[in-house]
Amino acid sequence: MNSATNGPAPAGRRPVIGVCARTAPVTLQGSDMVVALALQSHVTFLSEAGCTPLLIPLLPGAEELTGRLDGLLVPGGPDLDPALYGQEAHPATRAMSPEADRVELSLVGRAFDAEIPVLAICRGMQLLNVLHGGTLHQHLSDVTGHDGHRPRTPSFTLGRRPLKLLPGSRIAGILDEDGPETACHHHQAVDRLGAGLAATGWAEDGTVEAVEATGRSFAVGVQWECGQTADRRLHHALAQAAAGA
């Protein structure tokens, strides 16, 4: 497996991509329980790109696994504890899990220390910003005046917003299309950008939709819900980075 100095996966071995687990209550065969899970699409997209996904529950000591990883995917999830960036909770901030937040911050921080490729999605991008000393808008509609980033509908609906990408950025190279748009579902977003991060994508209302860590081969955060659509390009880019391609 990979060492703390990082490097491409050895020839002949499938790169191992850690996927941070989320917890959720479910009813299975009539029994209520809480499970650790990942979106099947994350698992499928990484597997079909030639990787072995590894679910990482957010328990103390999770950061010790980074020496066995070739890449890390940090998915969407609940709101971060605002105390992590020096704020009181907004009335709309909810479903926080401070202990899991701190474990995930430690895990991602260790991945950065080891220069492991990282793809951070939605909450993952927000955590990446907080890790680097940034802050968040806790309720985006207070800033934008609309709910287009998280439509208020009876069922889960993705907000489709025009996306402006920084020419020459990694994210622009991955998407490489005219008229890109987000497929998002978030009510929080980057406020003050963290040190060492560069904004490389924006919605038409100025909301930061993509960030990249400067001086890193692959450390990308996107605010939209890749994994909730059929678009595999970001997952495949992470897989290529993990393989050293």
Amino acid at 173: G
Stretch 95-100: mean pLDDT, rounded?
Answer: 91
* Domain contains 111: yes
Please indicate, yes or no, if residue 8 is contained in any of the structural domains. Answer: no
Q: What is the pLDDT of residues 117-136, one digit of tens each?
A: 999 999 999 999 999 999 99
Residue 11 lies in a domain: no
Phi, psi of 85 (to 5 degrees): -125, 25
How many domains is the chain partitioned into structurally? 1
**Stated length of the chain:** 245
Q: Which of 210, 106, 175, 188 is nearest to 139 (CA)?
A: 188
Question: What are the distances in angstroms from CA 124 to CA 2, 7, 130, 131, 187?
Answer: 23, 23, 10, 10, 14
**Which residue blocks in the chain are alpha helix, DSSP H?**
40-48, 98-113, 123-131, 141-144, 170-175, 233-242
Does 220 map to a domain? yes
Token pair in block for residue 150: 């998280």
**CATH number assigned to the domain comprising residue 78:** 3.40.50.880
What whole-number distance in Å separates Cα of residue 156 and Cα of residue 85?
Answer: 28
The pLDDT score that the predictor gives to residue 190 is 98
Residue 6 lies in a domain: no
Please give the Cα distance from 132 to 88 (Å, whole number): 19
- Residue 177 has a pLDDT of 82
pLDDT at 7 over 80: no
Within 8 A by CB and 6+ apart from 109, the residues are: 63, 131
Domain that holds residue 95: 16-242
User: Does the residue 93 lie in any domain?
Assistant: yes
H-helix or E-strand spanning residue 35? strand 31-37
pLDDT at site 1:
45
CB 210, CB 200: distance < 8 Å: yes
In terms of average pLDDT, the best of 24-33, 125-134, 178-187, 219-228 is 125-134
Tokens of 38: 């990942």
- Using CA atoms, how far apart are residues 113 and 100, in angstroms rounded to an integer? 20
Residue 29 belongs to some domain of the structure = yes
Does residue 2 surpass a pLDDT of 80? Answer: no
Residue 1 forms part of a structural domain: no
Euclidean distance between CA atoms 220 and 79, whole angstroms: 19
CA angle 214, 216, 221 (to 5 degrees): 70
Give the model's pLDDT for residue 11.
65
Q: Residue 9 pLDDT > 70, yes or no?
A: no
Average pLDDT over residues 47-63: 97
Distance of CA 29 to the CA centre of its chain: 32
Q: Residue 174's pLDDT is what?
A: 96
| pLDDT of 68 higher than 60 | yes
pTM of the model: 0.92
- Range in 39-53, 108-122, 150-164, 194-208 with the lowest mean pLDDT: 150-164
* Both tokens assigned to 23: 């917890």
Q: Which two tokens stand for residue 217?
A: 């081969």
For residue 92, what pLDDT band results from cuts at 50, 70 and 90? very high
